[in-house]
Amino acid sequence: MASLPSVAVTRTPKSESEFRKYSASFLPSEKSPSVSYQRSTQLDGVSEARCLDFREALSFIREGTKVESAFYVPILQECIDKKLVSDAQKIHAHIVKTGAHKDAFLMTFLVNVYAKCGTMETARKVFDELPRRNVVSWTTLMTGYVHDSKPELAVQVFREMLEAGAYPTNYTLGTALSASSDLHSKELGKQIHGYSIKYRIEFDASIGNSLCSLYSKCGSLECAVKAFRRIRDKNVISWTTVISAWGDNGEAATGLQFFVEMLSECVEPNEFTLTSALSLCCVMQSLDIGTQIHSLTIKLGFESNLPIKNSIMYLYLKCGWIHEAKKLFDEMETISLVTWNAMIAGHARMMDFAKDDLAAHQCGTEALSIFLKLNRSGMKPDLFTFSSVLSVCSSLVALEQGEQVHAQTIKTGFLSDVVVGTALVNMYNKCGSIERASKAFVEMSIRTLISWTSMITGYAQNGQPQQALLLFEDMRLAGVRPNKITFVGVLSACSHAGMVDEALDYFQMMKNEYKITPVMDHYACLIDMFVRLGRLDEAFDFIKEMDLEPNEFIWSILIAGCRSQGKLELGFYAAEQLLNLKPKDTETYNLLLNMYLSAGKWKEVSRVRKMMKEEKLGRLKDWSWISIKDKIYSFKRNARSHAQSGEMYELLGNLHEKAKSFGYEWEESLEVTDEEEDADEEKALTSIVYHSEKLAIAFGLLNTSNAVPIRVTKSISMCRDCHNFIRIISLLSAREIIIRDSKRLHKFINGHCSCGDFGTLI
DNA sequence: CTAGGGTTAG
């Protein structure tokens, strides 16, 4: 995208906030006490004076002096800002005592105070006792319910209001529209749209803005844009809403185009527009435009705006500009919980974009240490924090940290949140603790599509395909509509169980009953299934018949199957197809190399090596991690630098000997890893290559009690030899061993693995 | 009294 058009900066300092509007209505009389109560307009950092003034004003009220209504407003505003419900109650009592409660305007404001503080029962009570009701009081109550996530009550109040014969304003209808959009009810929204026509305010910006946002939330992007186009005087909010609408519906690039259009129409963006635009850059990972918007925010005078700083920091994290992000973070003199959350979530997202698993692991570890700092800072984590942290624990297979977070969510009451609950279910699933996952799932009071999908996938990944399918039927009975991700779980369950007929039935159900277009992952599950069953020809037929061009992953599955079943001809064909795709992944090349090496095809070996050089691919990095208590230990292939290295190798040696009597035979894997690193680690000491997961397991066996499973993550796929060996270790040591490698989860129990022994490509 | 920054499943 081209550069942004430049904006003429004619910015005046931001005017005093909302309370001025109110206080202007209450002209102070001469009898008012002469306390000068100046509310600071600074967003960040509460000055001491301001606190003092607030306390002074409060003590003045406590003394019981009769004051003018105007005196209460700024103090109540402070109660709103800081959610000081008990102070508000004291003021309320004072108002009643001195007879000021006859002032309908003041009491309406009090409804607003209780509503904003999230105490809707009291707000409703004050509202019911109002001497006079007007549109503002009705609207205030509605807004309160919307903010309190009770849109159905907001709609009920709206009905009451209409029955009472009050005329709604643009604000009322706007709020009613927000309620409909929270209810995801396009129908209700349309009815309210009708009212706006009836009251002749349909072209009003606030109506159009709310309509735009409603349609966007209901997934009707086209209607949203239409609503935007119909607005007569588009204001900055209209633009912000439509820009976000594009972004929320997966069209970030067009959203940015609208942002540019807005600038070229000389509408000056505000902080909300800028944060929206920045979040679009986040989605697109566009540092280029992001940095331009960053400078625009400075030009427009928002450099000290906290939400904007948070967004920029998050953007830099997501684009992997970790040092810039850290610099911003360190330079911030005031930070909010959102800042912490953005840091944690940013590191969590960076795990997905990290160049390899080693880097990803470091991001995750960093995220956990940021969470620790947040807890120490005295600030209280919220549902956003917990969801992110739990997802980090899942990725790291850090069960013990996850358990601690679980305890904290119970203590703080955030476990009742669906998203947190789902993240918890997912954490236990990813740590291979299926029993606790299912317990957490059962205990949820509400379940979303994502919760069901997470649990179904969990069963599939943990080697309980039957349970996965049963749960899928429960989900359908509960009236929850599966999406394409749910079907990835269902199909992979069938694949694991080798249930060909069921798999094909579910595939048809997905296409016909749910009208879901298959994506690559669905085909991958089915092809994987045929390969597992040794039905390579059928797998190949399926590849030929599918509507999508097979990708690297599909060919890799086929090659792995061909290799293990000695069908070299088909394997070579698949390899040619794979090479044409010029994969960017070291592991994929490694698979090819191994296939050609074991077949003695030296010409192809050197060709693959050459291609790897051309693609500037590094060597495989074989790292494993194990999390014990609140520490994560890392192990590199053949490493001998650990304090316990001696014991670890001794233990492994013994286990190797014992394993032989169980039919285990050393099987050399021809892998290409970092040769220099191997040389460093005194490879010459032994002819056996110790892959990193063996070391991690040995460390785990030495340092954990017999009762707990051993949980390891690994940066690349396990090789067949390690897989065979670990299967036997699980038998010999009577320990459950859970390994998540770069491809899948392996849960070894009593000599068996949940992947059905088809989880290894090398 | 309408708008914003941070969250979960492959």
A70-83: average pLDDT? 83
- The protein residue nearest B10 (Cα–C1') is A485
Q: Which of residues 481-520 of A touch strand B (CB under 7 A)?
A: 483-486, 488-489, 492, 519
CB atoms within 10 A of CB A663: 8
The structure tokens listed for A170 are: 């643009």
Strand B within 7 A of A382 CB = yes
A481-489: average pLDDT? 95
Strand B within 7 A of A530 CB = no
Q: Is the pLDDT of residue A7 over 50?
A: no
* Protein-contacted positions of strand B (CB under 7 Å): 1-10
**Å between A670 CA and B2 C1'?**
64
**Å between A420 CA and B9 C1'?**
13
The structure tokens listed for A302 are: 């928002």
List the one residue out of A431, A432, A459, A428 whose CA is nearest residue A444: A428
Q: Distance between CA A340 and CA A745 in Å, rounded?
A: 31
List the one residue out of A690, A623, A709 whose CA is nearest residue A652: A690
- Decide: A688 and A738 in contact? Cβ < 8 Å: no
pLDDT in tens, A329-373: 998 888 899 999 999 999 998 888 777 778 888 899 999 999 999
Could you identify the residue written with the tokens 């997966």?
A: A250
**Å between A490 CA and B4 C1'?**
38
Backbone phi and psi for residue A702, each to the nearest 5 degrees, phi listed first: -75, -25
**Å between A138 CA and B2 C1'?**
14
Nucleotide nearest to A170 (CA to C1'): B2
Q: Which of residues 139-158 of A touch strand B (CB under 7 A)?
A: 139-140, 143
pLDDT in tens, A271-297: 999 999 999 999 888 888 999 999 999
Strand B within 7 A of A21 CB = yes
Q: Which of residues 445-464 of A touch strand B (CB under 7 A)?
A: 448-451, 453-454, 457
Region of poorest pLDDT, from A258-262, A674-678, A718-722: A674-678
**Å between A275 CA and B6 C1'?**
12
Please give the DSSP secondary-structure letter assigned to residue A547: S
- Decide: A507 and A547 in contact? Cβ < 8 Å: no
Q: Is the pLDDT of residue A624 over 90?
A: yes
Q: Distance between CA A463 and CA A458 in Å, rounded?
A: 9
Strand B within 7 A of A633 CB = no
Secondary structure element (H or E) that encloses residue A713, with its range: strand A710-714
Q: Distance between CA A10 and CA A55 in Å, rounded?
A: 38
Nucleotide nearest to A456 (CA to C1'): B9
Strand B within 7 A of A383 CB = yes
Q: Distance between CA A428 and CA A435 in Å, rounded?
A: 8
Out of A11-25, A318-332, A363-377, A603-617, give the one with best mean pLDDT. A363-377
Radius of gyration of chain A (CA): 31
Alpha carbon of residue A439 to chain centroid: 23
pLDDT of residue A100: 85
Q: Distance between CA A228 and CA A242 in Å, rounded?
A: 7
Strand B within 7 A of A291 CB = no
Strand B within 7 A of A394 CB = yes
Q: Distance between CA A757 and CA A762 in Å, rounded?
A: 12
- Decide: A221 and A228 in contact? Cβ < 8 Å: no
Q: Which residues pair with A737 in a beta bridge?
A: A710, A748
Strand B within 7 A of A174 CB = yes
Measured between alpha carbons, how far is residue A438 from residues A395, A443, A460 in Å?
19, 8, 13
Strand B within 7 A of A137 CB = no
Q: Which of residues 239-258 of A touch strand B (CB under 7 A)?
A: 240-241, 244
pLDDT of residue A508: 96
The structure tokens listed for A91 are: 């003021």
Q: Distance between CA A45 and CA A688 in Å, rounded?
A: 61
pLDDT band at A389 (very low <50, low <70, confident <90, very high): very high
Nucleotide nearest to A115 (CA to C1'): B1
Q: Where are the alpha helices (DSSP H) in A199-286?
A: 205-217, 221-230, 236-248, 252-264, 271-284
CB atoms within 10 A of CB A441: 23
List the one residue out of A460, A457, A426 whose CA is nearest residue A440: A426
CA angle A278, A371, A391 (to 5 degrees): 70
Alpha carbon of residue A757 to chain centroid: 32
pLDDT of residue A586: 84
Nucleotide nearest to A521 (CA to C1'): B10
**Å between A390 CA and B10 C1'?**
18
Burial of A477 (0-12, 13-18, 19+ CB in 10 A): exposed
pLDDT in tens, A504-561: 999 999 999 999 999 999 999 999 999 989 999 999 999 999 999 999 999 999 998 8
Q: Which of residues 293-322 of A touch strand B (CB under 7 A)?
A: 305-308, 310-311, 314
pLDDT of residue A574: 93
- The protein residue nearest B2 (Cα–C1') is A174
Q: Is the pLDDT of residue A44 over 60?
A: no
pLDDT in tens, A247-261: 988 889 999 999 999
Q: What is the full DSSP assignment across A751-762?
A: TEETTTT-----
